[in-house]
Amino acid sequence: MIAALSFAVLASALAAPPPAFFATPPTLSSPALCSTASAAPEKKRPRLPSGLPTKSTCIADCGDLNAPVQCNAVSNCTAVDQATTCPTSPGYVQCDNNTPISCAACCTNGTIRNVSTGPICSCPDGQSTPKDRYQCVNGLWVYQFSFCGGPFCPTFQ
């Protein structure tokens, strides 16, 4: 039954005259000649403050607790992560043979650093502050553990 109905619909669609908008083909304009065709707009590349176009950006990872360093290059750039250079020297980036931009100095082995990770007095005991402990290992800060510590909050009675 479905096959017969489908055949009937198809036959009636083919027997009907084509719609009016297909009656005459559209007229096409003559193709543009190379000498008269307008060129596609040139895409603008980002520019450095100096006005030179940027081809690439280099970013060096300066490790935990240190911000990365970066530069924009026109022709070439190099990024050396802190993890590959410490404890001998800090990581750096260098773009287009300009003066390198260095990461913060490598830390001194064995040094401990405690970093607050939340609001004061926000530990579950209500009397201390959440912190992470880092220790310097081979010139890089390495996470050790989290704890609650000072500043301690006053007890109201």
Asked if residue 24 belongs to a domain, the reply is: no
* H or E element, residue 141: strand 140-149
Q: Which residues are CB-contacts of 133 (< 8 A; sequence separation ≥ 6)?
A: 112, 113, 114, 143, 144, 145, 146, 147
Place of tokens 């280099």: 58
Asked if residue 98 belongs to a domain, the reply is: yes
Asked if residue 145 belongs to a domain, the reply is: yes
Q: Could you say which of 83, 102, 121 is where a domain stops?
A: 102
Domain count for the chain, please give it.
Answer: 2
Asked if residue 44 belongs to a domain, the reply is: no
Asked if residue 61 belongs to a domain, the reply is: yes
0.75 surpassed by pTM: no
Per the structure, the complete domain to which residue 127 belongs is given by 112-149
Radius of gyration of the chain (CA): 34
Residues 87, 65 share a domain: yes
Residues 98, 128 share a domain: no
Residues 116, 94 share a domain: no
What are the pLDDT tens digits along the chain (157 aa)? 454 444 444 455 445 555 554 455 555 444 444 334 343 444 444 454 555 555 889 999 999 899 999 999 998 999 999 999 999 999 999 999 899 999 999 999 999 999 999 888 889 988 889 999 999 999 999 999 999 988 777 765 5
Asked if residue 67 belongs to a domain, the reply is: yes
